[in-house]
Structures are given as structure tokens and as C-alpha cells.
Structure 1
Amino acid sequence: MIIGGALGRWGRWIAFAFLVAIGLATMADAHPADEGDPWPGLMVNGLERHYLLHLPAGWQASAGALPLVIVLHGAAGDARSTADMTGFSPLADRGRFIAVYPEGTSIGVDPPRQTWNAGFCCGAAVRNHVDDLAFLGALIDRLAAEYPVDRRRIYLTGLSNGAMLAYRFAAQFPEKIAAIAPVAGTIGGTAGADQPPISIARPDRPVPVLIIHGMLDGYVLYRGGVSPNIGIPGRFNVSVDDAVRFWAAADGCGARSTRDVTSDGRVIFQAYGDCRDRAEVRLVALALGPHEWPVAIERPGGRTEPTAALIWRFFKQHQR
């Protein structure tokens, strides 16, 4: 079972904006500093970038090194709405980690629709060849220089276009990331008709991966293919099974996997163990899940858990 519902007064609008798809929806302009968390700027390759930073409540520099969780919005999303939607900030207070919400770019787009350059998707970030890999790398270095970030425990999650960038960054820089948790994303595809297929390169070291994806996703299709909802002829994404096989091979996992299903059959859990360097590959497939960040996910036995908490529980099991 997927538990939905509004998250605050903008919940329905946020859910709609993410559902309408990977670079084509319009969201209200957000002002992330309004609610108290810092909204720093960072110059990368001549572009001023921004990120919303949440330090755990009561944090003190003398408390020791802290894990870092980077949360990437979807296309047409923004940092503040993603913080509100995912719930990582209050979880960071309880779990004692730093949560950071970077923001994409919208160069030449009016009204702004922030996207990430994941290679084949999405929007203006791809057209303008924005180096979001450099941005994330610089962001990690900045935070590690200013705060006691535990570089062995840096984690990356994201929704849709943000999930695509999470895949890409982890494959390119596996030495920087302890684990990733992409939601409703893909490892590759084509940007449109007559465009070459693009996929992430195989990493040179294992990366633990938790994949969460709705099987009724109409925008990043679970079984792969051309989405009827995107509006870009020929835009194609590879399947979730392709992503699972890719990471199981990259992590050197055994051929066998375990499988568990909730009593109503709506949530399928698959896990590959026996991987190199204690890595693992897990899949949470939501039988009735659309293209969204699920608020909570039912686990076998009937207990539900917020998606952010499920991801954090996975992250805590891994460090570089």
C-alpha cells in the first residue's frame, strides 16, 4: 500500500507538479530561506548555484562527524518543496545527519523550471550543458570544509530527474558516495526521436543501491519504453529491471536474489546480496505506484514506514 495525501498547504500542487513530468510542468517560485534554513550560494563554472541546508536541531561542532544526505528534486521542482515533501529535515533532527537540498538550473526558461543534466534528461539543463556533476562535487567539498561531514557516510537520493542524476553521479564518482536511493528514475534512455541512447557508465567500485519505483509510473516507465505522457516523440527510458541488473553486475552481486511481498501484493521487495565490499542492491516495486515520491510504504507484516525513513535505514547500513 502507498499512503498518499497532502503535505502541508502546497501538498496537492507539489504532487501534481511532479506528476506532470520531467521538465514540462510549472511550479510556483519557492523562497527556501523563508522558513529559517540557510540558502547559500556557490559559484561553479561561472554559474551561481544554491542549496537549502538543514543542520540537525541542537547541532554543535564539537558533536563529531555527521552523515550527509543530499536530496535532489525532480524536474520542475525546487529545494523547499522537496524538503517539505520528503520529510528528510525532521528525520535529520532525529537521526543526527545533515540534509541538503540542491537546486537545479532554469537558464532561458520563463517561468523557471529547474532541471538537472543527467545526460539524456532533462530540459534546459541538458540543452545548456550544465555540469551538475561538478556542482554536486563542489557542494560536497564546500560542506565538508565548513561542517564536520563524515566523508565515509555521504548519501544521495532524488526523485525522477533527480534520481537520474543520483545514478549518474554515483556511477561517475563512486569513491564519493556511500549509497544511493533513486526514486522513479532511470539509468538511461534517449532525449527524443533520432537521438542516440545514453546510459551511465559502469562504476569502478561497488555502490549500494536502493531503487524505489511505481509500476504504474506513466512518465518514467517501469518496464521501459516511450512515455505517452511526456509529449516528446521518441523520448525513451530503459526499464527498472535494466537498472537492477546493471547495479547487480557493477556491485559484483550473486545471481540469486530474495523476494518478499506484502499480504495484499502491492509492494514487492527484492534484494541482491553477496556483493563485493558489502554492497547490496535492493528494489522496492509499488504495484499501484504512479510517478511520485510515496509518502510511506507498507512493509511485509503490515507496518508502514515513511519513505525517507526507509531510505535512511538503508543508508545507515553502509559507509565507504
Structure 2
Amino acid sequence: MTLSASDTATTPAPAEERAVLTVSDLTVVYEVDEPVVAVKNVSLTLAPGEILGLAGESGCGKTTLAYAINRLHKPPARISSGSVLFHDRDGSHLDLLALEDEDLRMFRWSKLSMVFQGAMNALNPVTTIRAQLEDVLTTHRPGMSRGDRRALAGDVLERVGVDRARLGSFAHELSGGMRQRVMIAMALLLEPQVMIMDEPTTALDVVVQRDILREIVRLRDELNFAVIFITHDLPLLLEMSDRIAIMLAGEIVELAPAAEIYRSPKHPYTRRLLGAFPSLTGARGDFIRTGVTDDRTEDR
């Protein structure tokens, strides 16, 4: 029997008063000749400091959802219904779908930032890393002196494991892993409460990927920002997420703690995703965060 999204057991979301982001019944439509519903009635609640993984196959709506939350979607994409509420540390609430241009521009990076999939495409190829980091500070903290901007840019760069001497470098002079760290530094520059990461390690080799994932978890623990981490790589999410949402054809079909997703997946699609990677054999190393071990039977 195939389960529908409504049949699937989910973990209750954190209480709203503790939430930093609440997405309710969000629907995104691509207005083409025959309108396509790319995201359908998606609801998510993100707690402060939580890492929420979002997994699913290519084309399932993960990136569309991320762009809609951050209001980065462009025509023909249109949010047709739902709400996105941001709950600030001071107790105030912002309806992100109601923000106008200037308010929205100032909200991004300072409260909610995004790390994109291709750092080489996201970074400006003709300006230095210093200029790009300082540009964020000039926009959002216009009263900061030039010396303070430079000092903060260097401090944040070193916080993500890149020597401040690289501030004078251009994107093409950095390795893939370093470019991605620069993107993370830019996203952290104003100490936002939420960071959305859209497949930030896809193009990196597994060693660099793991180093960056460890860095993200360390920074989250240190700065207490929440993360929505988007990828089609479910094993990766099992290593670092508190909860995981499984997306299929624009809908969330399962939402549960990472360990529960691993040991007792409810939806057939989740089970197929888990079955798409082999059981681990030999010595069992610790996962980054959840401590999940591979105890599946060999005949799975």
C-alpha cells in the first residue's frame, strides 16, 4: 500500500513560541502555458539552533522552496498561497511575504542568509573577497568605519578556516572548498538567525565536503543559528541534521528526527532513498552529530 503525505507520521514541530521560522501551507506555482505547482502546501517550523535537512530527488522543489522562503524567486514562479513568518530574538514577528523591496533587502543577510550551490557563480569574479565581504557591511552597517569593516571581514574569514591574507584574492584564485568557505563567511557576516544552504558541498570531493560539514556544525554550536540544509544526499543529512524533511513532487512526505528517519522510515519514498546507498561495512566511525550507526541488516 502506498502512503500519502497525510498518512505519514511526522514529528511535531517545535512550539511556535520557540520557533525562529514558520512556513505554513506554502504553495509556489510556475506560471507557464500549463501552470506547474512546484511546491504544494509545505509547512515547516525551524527552532533556534536546529539543523533541518531537506532531502529529495532533483526537481522535487527543494530549491524552489528555499528561494520562496527567502523571496528570491522570480517570474514565472509565484507564491500562490501560504505564509512565511520570521520570529526575531526580540519577540517580534515578520511576515516575509509582506515585506517591500527595501525592507526585504535589509532583512536578507542580517536575519536570514543563504549559501548557494555554486560558489564560483555566486561570487563576483572581478572583485576581491575583501570587497565582497565589505560590501555587505557597507549596505547593512553604514556607520561602521572602513577599518572596522576590514577587521570584521578578516575575523569572519578566519572563523571559517580561511587565512585573512586571502581577502585580497579573487574567486578564481581559491580552491573549490575555500570558495565555499568564503560563501559561508559572507552568510555569517551579520550573525543571522537562519541560514539556508542549498547543496553547498555538491561539487566538492568527499574529504573537503566532510571538513566543511564539520565546520558548519561547529559554527552552529558556537553562534546558535538555525540551518535549513538542502541536498539530494540523504546519507549526508543523516550525519548532521537534527530533523529531516523528505520532499517528493513538491510535498513534504515525511518529517522526523534524523535517527528515526534512518531506523524507521515511514514513507515508501524515504525507504527507497535509504535503499539507494549501500550498507556500511568494516569499522564504524562516528557520524558528525547524530551518532547514528549502521545497524541495518545485510539483506535490506
TM-score normalized by the length of structure 2: 0.31
**Greater RCO (Cα-Cα under 8 Å, separation 6 or more):** 2
Richer in helix (by share): 2
Look at both structures and tell me which one has the larger radius of gyration over its CA atoms.
2
TM-score normalized by the length of structure 1: 0.30
